[in-house]
Structure 1
Amino acid sequence: MTVPTPAIPKGSWVLITGVNGHVASELASQFLERGYRVRGTVRDLAKSSWLVDDVFKTFAAIGDFELIRVPDIVQDGAFDAAVKGVSAVAHVAAFGFGDDPNKVIPPTIASMRSILKSAAAEPSVKRFVYTSSVVAAAYFSMDTTDHVTHDSWNDKAVAEAWSPPPHKETFEFAVYMAGKVAGEKELWRFVTEEKPQFVANAVNPQTILGRRLSKNCSSVSAAMIPNLYNGIYPPPLISPCVYGIDVKEVALMHVAAVLDLDVKSARIHVWGRLYTWNQVLAAMRKLFPKHTFVDDISSGETLKMTVDQTLALSLLKKWGGQDDWRKLEDVILDNLKGTAEE
């Protein structure tokens, strides 16, 4: 495979926020394997020591991987030290679920603003990528019929998140979605108004499945297939049908967003393949015929929302040498390493 000319040369430092997370640790792995150096931010160095003592031990030993503590990502100037000398920034760290929009949405905006200001003040930064989500562009539900485009925004979730009580049982998810809207909109506002020296892109995945580099790496979505193997159905808020994308491919889209000279101000919608959980169960039964699985989920519903993944697929081919998304069976096997019976 011919390697494209990258926007930043090998050996450059790449800053990855929340590097102890599912996507961020996979992203760190891919950059390191491509010959880049990675500085990762974490809130607690001791709790994240598994990254330097185990997963990236070889790279840490030669000085190509390091951790830096950023205890409060919403503070102005929180990333000033972290961005020193880096050529690219991948802002992957995120706030989780909560039932108070004031504790999710304003902090998400503040953290985005903080890292953007730090990056803009550091002349070495040439590229910036943000881990957004499908829910920044569309309200994720079985009823949504939207065709998502570059200009799509989930205004419905924002209105719901700031609505007065009483709230629906899906309220926490609405707050999460609104946070993603706010974070990505702040990115594009800053780029438009402040005109920083770096190129910015966003990656908008759907349900992220696949391997975890360590059992210490927690992830709600990465736990769903192992949980299903162990007889636990996906959470009630997870629909019976999802677009599933492998974490390796989500990370690769971030790599492309940083390295591809032709990708500028892009929203890379990377959804992968449409699966029902019954299809996942069927694949697992085929892979592990001796294991007893839970019954199928009695639902014939399917997602009606759509998107054009042409850009993502072209980047998958250009930077990963793949013609299509990984097969479900391969994603399952990756996700179940160390969990399932041989």
Structure 2
Amino acid sequence: MASDTVLITGISGFIAKHVALILLERGYTVRGTVRSSAKGEEVRVTLARHGAAVDRLEIIEADLLSDAGWAEAAAGCRFVVHMASPFPMAQPRDRFALVPAAREGTLRVIGAARDAGVERVVMTSSIVAVYQGHGSRADARYGDADWSNTNDPSVGAYAVSKTVAERAAWEATRGTGLELAVINPAFVLGPLLDADAGTSAMLIAMMMRGRTPVVPDVSFGIVDVRDVAQAHMAAMETPAAAGHRFILSAGTRSLIEIGRHLAAADPTLRRRVPRFVLPDYVVRMASKVSAQARLLVLELGRAKDLDADPARTNLAIVFRTPEEAIAATAASLREYGLVR
């Protein structure tokens, strides 16, 4: 049984609660940051309901845009899992609007970890820090050496923030002795631990409610949140993981395919899930007036082959299928009354 203390930033997030659960199950002491004490209490209740030993859970208030609380949060920790980052449902018009919280927050966490003598930081980045802004690229294979091109105006605010923050983390840890490993998950689905659904799950909820009868021809890599949590723990514990990025994806599915898998898992959804693919020219026309549509144009019909082999080989991750993740998301949305 482990006895080390692990700091999880943004512990109230969808993925972060799964990471906290698996670390507590493994015997770690977990310290989590939240922006409000109320959020912290919600996390404690959620984890206790799923059998976690919350007597080994400590909650600290800290905000990415403030220095207050970070030294206290990192003190005495062996590891830091940095997960806090803004992820709004709607993309801001300003492509750099999310950068201050993402980049400056990351630097605050890295600085606090370094000053506290932390051994390793595991950072949650995203696949959008890997493949965006390369619309004319012929090779559909993307790996850990690839970076999104934030100079491309097609790259939205969230992808810009994740790319800039991850690059800042690599730069801030270079030559310091503080180890860094980065997790780059694709579209994260899977079971919810409570009714606080994240942005990814809400897309599935919209499909289940019948609000997306037509969808653009866009595809995503998909990974189950349980595998994402396992990868974070493995990146923390595996000595050779230091200095590496790990893409997490169990396979790519289009929006129309996601709808079909939802209907297969729950036949009552057949008349609600998307049934038609929006013609590309309609999306291109909409992009002239809609910032959200503009983000989709370069993704239309674009296949992406995401190289998750390093996670399989070096972190020993055996991925659940996208269909398992989709079905688990739908079941959880029903269980917590978010879709009827």
**Same fold flag (TM > 0.5):** yes
Residue matched to 2:284: none
Residue matched to 2:35: 43
**Structure 1 residue 302 displacement after superposition:** 4.1
Residue matched to 1:274: 252
Instruction: Check if 1:188 corresponds to 2:170.
Output: yes
Residue matched to 1:117: 111
Residue matched to 2:208: 229
Residue matched to 1:314: 313
Cα 1:295/1:41, change in 2 over 3 Å: closer
Instruction: Check if 1:218 corresponds to 2:188.
Output: no
Retained in 2: the 8 A contact 1:14–1:36?
yes
C-alpha separation in 1, matches of 2:69 and 2:229? 25
User: Which of residues 211, 214, 218 in structure 2 aligns to 1:240?
Assistant: 218
What letter matches 2:57 in structure 1? F
Residue matched to 1:138: 131
Retained in 2: the 8 A contact 1:90–1:130?
yes
What letter matches 1:183 in structure 2? A
Cα 1:338/1:295, change in 2 over 3 Å: closer
Retained in 2: the 8 A contact 1:137–1:154?
yes
C-alpha separation in 2, matches of 1:44 and 1:21? 13
**Structure 1 residue 297 displacement after superposition:** 3.0
Residue matched to 2:277: 298
C-alpha separation in 1, matches of 2:275 and 2:135? 18
TM-score relative to the length of structure 1: 0.81
C-alpha separation in 2, matches of 1:235 and 1:312? 34
SS at match of 1:128: strand
Q: Deviations 1:276-330 (Å, cap 9, x if unpaired)?
A: 22222222222222443334232696433333221112245x3x5x3xx212342
Retained in 2: the 8 A contact 1:15–1:83?
yes
Q: Deviations 1:179-233 (Å, cap 9, x if unpaired)?
A: 11110111111122xx333310111111111111110x23111222232122122
Retained in 2: the 8 A contact 1:207–1:244?
yes
Query: What fraction of aligned residue pairs are identical, expressed as a percent?
Result: 24
SS at match of 2:277: coil
Q: Deviations 1:235-273 (Å, cap 9, x if unpaired)?
A: 97x863211111111121111111111112101011221
What letter matches 2:8 in structure 1? I
Range with bigger deviation, 15-24 or 219-228: 219-228
Retained in 2: the 8 A contact 1:211–1:222?
no
Instruction: Check if 1:85 corresponds to 2:41.
Output: no
Alignment of 1:142-161 (within 5 A): 145-146=138-139, 147-155=141-149, 157-160=150-153
C-alpha separation in 2, matches of 1:67 and 1:79? 12
Range with bigger deviation, 18-27 or 39-48: 39-48
User: Which of residues 89, 98, 109 in structure 2 aligns to 1:104?
Assistant: 98
Q: Deviations 1:43-94 (Å, cap 9, x if unpaired)?
A: 0111342211243366465x21121111x21334641000111111011010
Instruction: Check if 1:205 corresponds to 2:205.
Output: no
Which structure has more helix as a fraction of its residues? 2
Alignment of 1:330-341 (within 5 A): 330-340=324-334
Kindly report the root-mean-square deviation, in angstroms, between the aligned alpha carbons of the 2 structures. 2.7
Cα 1:233/1:225, change in 2 over 3 Å: same
C-alpha separation in 2, matches of 1:144 and 1:239? 18
C-alpha separation in 2, matches of 1:326 and 1:21? 21
Instruction: Check if 1:27 corresponds to 2:19.
Output: yes
Q: How many aligned positions are there?
A: 310
Retained in 2: the 8 A contact 1:240–1:299?
no
TM-score relative to the length of structure 2: 0.82
Cα 1:234/1:174, change in 2 over 3 Å: farther
What letter matches 2:307 in structure 1? D
User: Which of residues 125, 128, 134 in structure 1 aligns to 2:121?
Assistant: 128
Retained in 2: the 8 A contact 1:144–1:305?
no
Cα 1:239/1:117, change in 2 over 3 Å: farther
What letter matches 1:12 in structure 2? D
Retained in 2: the 8 A contact 1:18–1:24?
yes
The list of structure 1 runs, each at least 4 consecutive aligned residues, that deviate by more than 6 angstroms after superposition, is 140-143
